[in-house]
């Protein structure tokens, strides 16, 4: 067989391909993925899709149940619920993705450095993480929100600051266990420099749990934001977020239950989708059940 | 009257991909006071056959299709689960392979030991506890009374296996199934456990089914042998008959795979390539414990074109020594000279050009390859790194490497998980010889492989050493393998060098007691006596 | 184990100090003061109030006086309810929150462990999907959604249970406890299932069966010990989550517990109240994490031996 025959040589099935195949077979996870893509798409395109503005009031109309004009009904100010839920989605998803991205960035960097450096540096870094872990963050976030007002940027940072700890721990754990794998030693004995080792050997093999955990962090973040908004400490009216919508829905839930049910349903379904997807990814990427 | 009489046992697994006949019609007999050995490589179905006798196979996919197993007047295969439970532990006991994982880490061994007694004989806790202590003493555990309160992790591997044996014996079974009971143990410990089993068998007149992949282990203790392949017995008979006149081709292949005989001594004037003087490498103990001197003042010499065998049991520091030479671990003091150059204090940059001249082959074929790189990537990496070939010549070079190690070229774009253990090891070897090094450290490269594959890889290594004029440090705990491969041998224990000499001298007249003990512990004397080699 | 315990306790002290310090300076940094939302008062009254609450002193001095008071267990007077101290309010609210937390934890443990263990015994069958599906609902439906929904269905539509209060009407403790516990029941269910699955594939269970032990003994005596381990480790953080969760539940159900006081204090900028409650709650959380940590280490024989 010569070089010319390279294109007819059967290509192997990489672990990523194997994982994707297994993920595809997981119906719940795929349903979650589709749902998420749909919702994200809708929320992104909202300004061009909706018939009403999210602030547009129609006081004569008041609150009406779902109808042809207003698919999900209106609230006491006559604002179209569908529109507000979609705008709320923009906010909630934005917080979810951005705060998670913040946590990801800080956590991965921190954890990778600690894991690769090892020894005393690792010890010191992890000691700090342990201390921070013990702080009751929930209380501090509430405090921060109260003290500094409802600054959206602060919200993102605060939530991200809570989640990076676990991410750092996971990444560090992965890197530590990878460093003991013999193929990393082999890379060293070949004479590869640290950059090449980290880039070509460590990171591709550490990505799995990072991806899984990221997917599972997003719903946690969204819950946190919804919670804060519900308590009145997060996003403020007239802007919308799902937490806020639920909170106002609770106030009038006896007379107008749809104001509570629809935002609640959307939030719950999105969280379902994210969790199922995260679980599916975890199963698909699990090396123990991988093709062996 | 046979203790156990099995006829035409068939166990099939009904999986999503079809029916797998794991055990396809085997018949055998076990007598009281005698040992029946079932030999086979992994996947032969030997363990499943025995577990199915007491219904310990996973039932949904597995099903006993046919057969009859007479034990104490009952056909085991027709018993209900409740009836089988009465047999398990009391009539038939099992000793499992890995003592590390077969004991419950959250319970004291006393608690685990008395369970069969409380269950089968309704003994009171106090009586059962006493019996437990007696049984521990019988298997050779000192301070038995105190040890009953200990947890499994407080024991060493050999001790743990004794506990497992005690647990199997405590309810006085007639038959014991020993599933590779010594595979996870050091050579000297293995010898002790085998002796223990033999003594117990004779004293209690128990029948034993000994499952193994290693012919040399059963060679000394089996009365009858069955050779199993793909769910069937290809041959069975009395021990000496099998060894002296094997009928089936597979049996002959297994016998041939046992590394026998010694390498013909090659005479050439020894020219040192690597000189190690007073090397110390230490690890820090867990959580501030005392530092462990893994390499405790070693001085030795490796000559050009020779294979030096480094022998030791687990914890001897042999792997640490190998890694220290390659600077994968940093020695604390001492000197390593490679072709005249001092290695110990070189910086990474200074080391790099030297690295292409010395390489390593690792033990575990499953973790020594990056699972996300194809064969091509793995083999090409060192070639590109050290500029052995340019991009244009890369493909040819990779293909030539694959030829040299016996891999089909068509597999060049596959990933490690698509290969078997032996093939993965070939890839690892290919990676090591790519830069045409002068020296290779081979750290137990065949320990994780089946016997027949082992033989192939050993021959491959010999061939490569001859062809490329390599020097090699071959690390192993298996003396038979080392004798087959090495020109000179060095024995290590607890970080120190115990003895060194030519292979011939070491095996014919070992000087140190530890070396003598190691040699005495090599199983399969019978096979060696049959072998025509002068050693 | 003593060395370990002492070490952990010593490590906890700087954490608590950090909490106190951070909170103290954080609150002082907030724009506006405790009285800024009140009707405008004359400067003399303002000065008198400030003197009374020590607001006229330099900030560092306030800090150290506060620390000194803390050492005596004096958390200071509240601003909002003149004449009452923070200690009193905490003493009022704590038992209620504790009771709520306790019931919620019990619900979470009982439901969660049962669901998780049952699911792990027959993975990927209906016996697995149903409990884990319920667990997922618990996790994905936040308490501020579940609570109102339960109230809507059981309190308003069916009129079976009261809508608010604690201890005033019979049965009014049920809905809040379920609301708070549901999410953690979900997490615990998943943790126990994962832990059990891990153990169920271990060799030592095969050894237990080979001894002739019936299956239920194998599961209850051998598997549970290792399998429920993750749940024990989770209890410490769970306590913190329960506490934060109580904020919401108490608000929804109008329960006069510590959580609701805290939220109100936060809104009202009641300095001492916020400070006192934060310090108290944070200390409680740190202590609980400590206990959970020690318990988890003690239960694992290998770790216990290592630290002996």
d(CA B121, CA B123): 5
Q: Is the pLDDT of residue B166 over 90?
A: yes
Candidates B101, B115, B287; nearest CB to C211 = B115
Q: Residue C50: its pLDDT value, please?
A: 65
Measured over the CA atoms of residue C243, residue C249, residue C254 and residue C255, the dihedral's sign is: negative
Q: What average pLDDT does range B121-149 have in this prediction?
A: 91
> So what's the pLDDT on residue B266?
66
Q: Which of residues 64 through 83 in chain A touch B, CB cutoff 8 A?
A: none
> What is the length of chain B?
535
What average pLDDT does this structure show over A63-75?
81
Which chain B residues are Cβ-neighbours of A199 within 8 angstroms?
none
Predicted pLDDT of residue C211: 92
Q: What is the ipTM of this complex?
A: 0.80
Q: Tokens 């905490």 identify what position?
A: C90
Task: Report pLDDT for C78.
Answer: 62
Question: Which pLDDT tens digit goes with each residue over C128-146?
Answer: 989 999 999 999 998 889 9
Please say if the pLDDT value at position A158 is more than 90.
no
Q: How confident is the model at residue B535 (pLDDT cuts 50, 70, 90)?
A: very low
Contacts of C293 (CB under 8 A, 6+ apart): C8, C236
The tokens describing A243, both together, are 């937490």
pLDDT band for position B361 (50/70/90)? very high
User: Which CATH number among 3.30.565.10, 3.30.930.10, 3.40.50.300, 3.30.470.10 corresponds to the domain B272-532?
Assistant: 3.40.50.300
Q: What is the pLDDT of residues B280-316, one digit of tens each?
A: 888 765 555 567 788 888 999 999 888 999 999 888 8
> Is residue A190 scored above 70 in pLDDT?
yes
Residue B475 is encoded by which pair of tokens? 């690390």
Give the residue among B99, B20, B89, B21 at the shortest CA–CA distance from B54. Answer: B89
Nearest to C222 among B104, B154, B164 (CB): B104
The mean pLDDT of chain C is: 81
Confidence of residue C73 (pLDDT cuts 50, 70, 90): low
**Which candidate from C203, C212, C305 shows the least CB-CB separation from B154?**
C305
Largest Cα span, chain A = 81
Cα distances (Å, whole numbers) of residue C218 to B152, C209, C213: 18, 7, 6
A119 touches chain B (CB under 8 A): no
Is residue B111 predicted with pLDDT exceeding 50? yes
Cis check for the bond before C35: say yes or no (omega within 30 of 0): no
Give, to the nearest 10 degrees, the angle between helix B421-433 and helix A182-190: 20
User: B465-509, pLDDT tens digit by residue?
Assistant: 999 989 999 999 888 889 889 999 999 998 899 999 988 888 888
- Please give the span between the terminal C-alpha atoms of chain C, in angstroms, as a whole number: 5
Segments of B115-196 assigned E as strands: 175-179
- Half-sphere exposure in the Cβ direction for B111 (13 Å, CA): 13
Mean pLDDT of the region A95-123: 86
- Whether B370 and A183 lie within 8 Å, measured CB to CB: yes
Tell which wins on pLDDT, C40 or C292: C292
> Residue B269 pLDDT > 50, yes or no?
yes
- Cα–Cα distance, A145 to A158 (Å, whole number): 9
Q: What angle do CA B41, B43, B44 make, to 5 degrees?
A: 65
Placement of tokens 């890694």 in the chain: B323
Cβ-based contacts of C209 with chain B (< 8 Å)? 56, 88
In sequence order, the 6+-apart residues with CB closer than 8 A to the CB of B317 are B281, B294, B295, B296, B492, B494, B495
- CB within 8 Å: A142 and C18: no
pLDDT at C105: 93
Q: Does residue A291 register a pLDDT over 50?
A: no
Coil, strand, or helix at residue C11? Answer: helix
Q: How far apart are CA B524 and CA B37, in angstroms?
A: 13
Ramachandran sector of residue A10 (left: φ over 0; alpha: ψ -120 to 50; beta: rest): beta
- Residue B217: predicted pLDDT: 86
A264 to C243: CB separation less than 8 angstroms, yes or no: no
Least confident of B152-156, B466-470, C58-62: C58-62
**Phi and psi for B176 in degrees, rounded to 5?**
-120, 135
DSSP C151: I
Asked if B410 is an interface residue toward chain A (Cβ–Cβ < 8 A), one would say yes
- Secondary structure of A67-115 in the HEC alphabet? CCCCCCCECCCCCEHHHHHHHHHHHHHHHHHHHHHHHHHHHHHHHHHHH
Q: Do the Cβ atoms of C18 and A138 come within 8 Å?
A: no
Q: Is the fold of B4-257 the same as that of B272-532?
A: yes
- Chain A interface includes B420 (CB < 8 A): no
Of the candidates A1, A63, A26, A54, the one whose C-alpha atom is nearest the C-alpha of residue A239 is A54
**Confidence band, pLDDT 50/70/90 cuts, at residue A249:** confident
Indicate if the pLDDT at residue B177 is higher than 60: yes
User: What are the strands of the beta sheet with B62-71, ordered from one edge?
Assistant: B18-30, B4-15, B62-71, B74-75
Does A12 contact B351 at a Cβ distance shorter than 8 Å?
A: no
Chain A residue closest in CA terms to C16: A135
Distance between CA atoms of A203 and A106, rounded to whole angstroms?
Answer: 16
Burial class (CB in 10 A: 0-12, 13-18, 19+), B170: buried
The band of B534, judged by pLDDT with boundaries at 50, 70 and 90, is very low
For range B407-418, the mean pLDDT? 90
B126-150 CB burial, b ≥16 within 10 A, e <16: eebbebbbebbebbbbeebeebbeb
Neighbours of chain A (3+ CB pairs under 8 A): B, C
CB proximity list for C173: less than 8 A, separation 6 or greater: C99, C100, C103, C166, C167
Chain A residues within an 8 Å CB radius of C149: 260, 264
Q: Give me the residues of B, 52-81, that contact C with CB < 8 A.
A: 54, 56
pLDDT above 90: residue B211: yes
Whether the CB-CB separation of B317 and B495 falls below 8 Å is answered with yes
Q: What number of C-beta contacts closer than 8 Å exist between A and C?
A: 107
- Chain centroid offset of residue A67 CA: 33
Chain B residues in contact with A2 by the CB 8 A cut-off are 399
CB contact under 8 A, B359 and A14: no
Kindly give the pairing relationship between strand B4-15 and strand B62-71. Answer: antiparallel
- Segment C75-104 shows an average pLDDT of 76
Assigned superfamily of B4-257: P-loop containing nucleotide triphosphate hydrolases (3.40.50.300)
Distance from CA of C189 to the nearest CA of B (A): 22
- Count Cβ atoms below 10 Å from residue C279 Cβ, excluding itself: 21
pLDDT > 90 fraction of chain B, expressed in percent and rounded? 47
In angstroms, the Cα distances linking C152 to A98, A257, B434, C253 are 34, 8, 73, 12
| pLDDT higher than 50, residue B533 | no
Alpha-carbon distance of B153 to C189, in angstroms, equals 30
Would you tell me how many other CB atoms lie within 10 Å of the CB of residue B106? 21
How far is the alpha carbon of A221 from chain C, nearest alpha carbon, in Å? 12
The domains of chain B are located at 4-257, 272-532
Cα dihedral across residues B111, B113, B115, B117: positive or negative: negative
- Is there a contact between B418 and A13 if contact means CB atoms under 8 Å apart? yes
Convert the pLDDT of each residue in B55-95 to its tens digit: 898 877 888 888 999 998 899 999 999 999 999 989 999 99
**pLDDT tens column, A8-64:** 677 888 888 888 888 888 888 899 999 999 999 988 888 887 777 767 777 777 778
Task: Indicate the pLDDT class of residue B358, thresholds 50, 70 and 90.
Answer: very high
C156-179 pLDDT, tens digit each: 888 888 878 777 777 788 889 999
Query: How many secondary structure helices (H) and strands (E) does chain C include?
Result: 14, 0
């Amino acid at each position: 067989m010569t070089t010319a025959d390279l294109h007819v040589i059967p290509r192997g099935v990489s672990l990523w391909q194997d994982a994707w195949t297994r993920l595809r077979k997981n119906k719940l996870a795929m349903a979650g993925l589709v749902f998420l893509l749909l919702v994200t798409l809708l929320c992104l395109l909202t300004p061009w899709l909706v018939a009403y503005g999210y602030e547009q009031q129609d006081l004569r109309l008041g609150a009406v149940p779902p109808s042809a004009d207003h698919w999900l009904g209106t609230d006491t100010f006559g604002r179209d619920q569908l529109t507000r839920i979609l705008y709320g989605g923009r906010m909630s998803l934005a917080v979810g993705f951005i705060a998670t991205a913040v946590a990801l960035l800080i956590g991965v960097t921190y954890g990778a450095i600690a894991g690769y450096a090892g020894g005393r540096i690792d010890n010191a870094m992890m000691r700090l993480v342990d201390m921070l872990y013990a702080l009751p963050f929930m209380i501090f976030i509430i405090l921060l929100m109260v003290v500094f007002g409802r600054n959206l940027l602060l919200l993102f940072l605060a939530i991200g600051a809570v989640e990076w700890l676990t991410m750092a721990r996971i990444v560090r754990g992965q890197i530590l266990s990878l460093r003991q794998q013999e193929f990393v030693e082999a890379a060293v004995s070949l004479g590869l420099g640290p950059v090449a080792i980290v880039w070509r050997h460590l990171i591709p093999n550490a990505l799995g749990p990072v991806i899984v955990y990221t997917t599972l962090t997003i719903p946690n973040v969204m819950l946190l934001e919804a919670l804060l908004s519900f308590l009145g400490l997060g996003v403020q009216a007239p802007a919308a977020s799902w937490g806020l919508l639920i909170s106002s829905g609770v106030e009038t839930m006896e007379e107008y239950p749809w104001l509570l049910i629809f935002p609640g349903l959307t939030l719950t379904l999105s969280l379902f989708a994210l969790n199922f997807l995260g679980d599916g990814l975890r199963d698909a990427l699990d090396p123990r059940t991988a093709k062996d | 009257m046979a203790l156990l009489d099995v006829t035409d046992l068939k166990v099939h697994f009904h999986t999503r991909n079809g029916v797998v006949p794991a055990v396809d019609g085997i018949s055998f007999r076990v007598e009281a006071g005698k040992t029946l050995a079932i030999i086979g490589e992994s996947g032969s179905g030997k363990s499943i056959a025995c577990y199915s006798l007491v219904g310990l196979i996973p039932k949904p996919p597995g099903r006993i299709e046919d057969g009859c197993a007479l034990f104490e007047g009952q056909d085991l295969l027709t018993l209900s689960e409740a009836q089988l439970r009465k047999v398990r532990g009391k009539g038939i006991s099992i000793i499992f392979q890995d003592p590390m994982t077969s004991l419950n880490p959250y319970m004291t061994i006393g608690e685990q030991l008395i369970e069969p007694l409380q269950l089968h004989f309704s003994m009171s806790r106090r009586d059962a506890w006493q019996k437990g202590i007696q049984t521990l003493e019988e298997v050779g555990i000192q301070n038995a009374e105190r040890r009953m309160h200990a947890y499994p992790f407080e024991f060493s591997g050999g001790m743990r296996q004794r506990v497992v044996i005690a647990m199997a014996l405590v309810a006085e079974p007639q038959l014991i199934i020993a599933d590779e009971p010594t595979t996870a143990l050091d050579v000297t410990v293995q010898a002790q456990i085998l002796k223990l089993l033999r003594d117990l068998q004779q004293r209690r007149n128990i029948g034993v089914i000994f499952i193994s992949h290693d012919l040399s282990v059963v060679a000394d203790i089996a009365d009858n042998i069955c050779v199993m392949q793909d769910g069937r017995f290809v041959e069975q008979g009395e021990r000496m008959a099998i060894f002296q006149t094997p009928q089936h081709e597979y049996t002959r292949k297994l016998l041939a795979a046992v590394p026998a005989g010694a390498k013909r001594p090659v005479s050439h004037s020894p020219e040192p390539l690597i000189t190690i003087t007073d090397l110390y490498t230490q690890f820090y103990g867990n959580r501030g414990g005392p530092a462990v001197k893994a390499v405790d003042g070693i001085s030795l010499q490796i000559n050009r074109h020779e294979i030096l065998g480094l022998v030791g049991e687990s914890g001897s520091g042999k792997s640490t020594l190998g890694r220290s030479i390659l600077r994968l671990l940093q020695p604390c003091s001492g000197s390593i000279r490679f072709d005249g150059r001092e290695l110990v204090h070189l910086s990474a940059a200074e080391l790099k050009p030297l690295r292409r001249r010395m390489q390593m082959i690792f033990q575990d074929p499953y973790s020594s390859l990056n699972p996300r790189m194809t064969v091509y990537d793995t083999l090409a990496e060192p070639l590109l790194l050290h500029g052995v070939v340019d991009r244009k010549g890369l493909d040819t070079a990779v293909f030539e490497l694959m030829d040299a190690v016996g891999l089909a070229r068509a597999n060049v774009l596959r990933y490690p998980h698509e290969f078997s253990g032996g093939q993965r090891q070939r890839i690892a070897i290919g990676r090591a010889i790519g830069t045409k090094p002068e020296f290779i450290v081979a750290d137990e490269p065949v320990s994780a492989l089946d016997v027949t594959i082992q033989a192939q890889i050993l021959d491959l290594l010999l061939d490569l050493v001859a062809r490329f004029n390599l020097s090699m440090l071959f690390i192993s705990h298996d003396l038979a393998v080392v004798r087959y491969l090495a020109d000179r041998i060095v024995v290590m224990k607890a970080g120190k060098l115990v003895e060194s000499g030519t292979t011939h001298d070491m095996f014919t007249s070992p000087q140190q007691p530890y070396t003598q003990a190691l040699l005495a512990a090599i199983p399969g004397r019978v096979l060696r006596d049959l072998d025509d080699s002068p050693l | 184990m003593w060395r370990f315990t002492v070490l952990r306790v010593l490590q906890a002290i700087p954490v608590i100090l950090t909490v106190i310090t951070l909170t103290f300076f954080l609150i002082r940094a907030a724009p506006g003061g405790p009285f800024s939302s009140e009707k405008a008062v004359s400067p003399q009254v303002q000065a008198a109030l400030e003197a009374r609450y020590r607001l006229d002193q330099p900030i560092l001095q306030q800090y150290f006086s506060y620390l000194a008071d803390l050492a005596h267990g004096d958390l200071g007077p509240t601003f909002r309810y003149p004449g009452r101290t923070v200690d009193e309010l905490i003493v009022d609210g704590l038992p209620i929150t504790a009771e709520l937390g306790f019931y919620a934890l019990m619900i979470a443990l009982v439901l969660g462990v049962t669901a998780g263990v049952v699911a792990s015994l027959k993975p990927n069958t209906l016996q697995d999907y149903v409990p884990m599906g319920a667990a997922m609902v618990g996790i994905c439906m936040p308490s501020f959604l579940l609570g109102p929904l339960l109230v809507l269905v059981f309190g308003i539509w069916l009129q079976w249970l009261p809508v608010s209060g604690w201890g005033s009407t019979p049965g009014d403790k049920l809905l809040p406890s379920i609301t708070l516990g549901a999410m953690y029941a979900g997490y615990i269910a998943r943790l126990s299932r994962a832990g059990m699955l891990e153990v169920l594939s271990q060799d030592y269970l095969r050894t237990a069966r080979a001894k002739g032990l019936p299956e239920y003994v194998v599961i209850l005596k051998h598997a549970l010990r290792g399998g429920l381990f993750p749940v024990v480790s989770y209890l410490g953080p769970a306590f913190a989550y329960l506490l934060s969760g109580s904020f919401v539940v108490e608000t929804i159900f109008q329960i006069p517990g510590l959580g609701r006081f805290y939220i109100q204090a936060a809104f009202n900028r009641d300095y001492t109240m916020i400070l006192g409650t934060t310090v108290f709650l944070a200390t409680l959380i740190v202590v609980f994490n400590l206990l959970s940590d020690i318990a988890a280490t003690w239960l694992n024989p290998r770790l216990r031996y290592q630290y002996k």
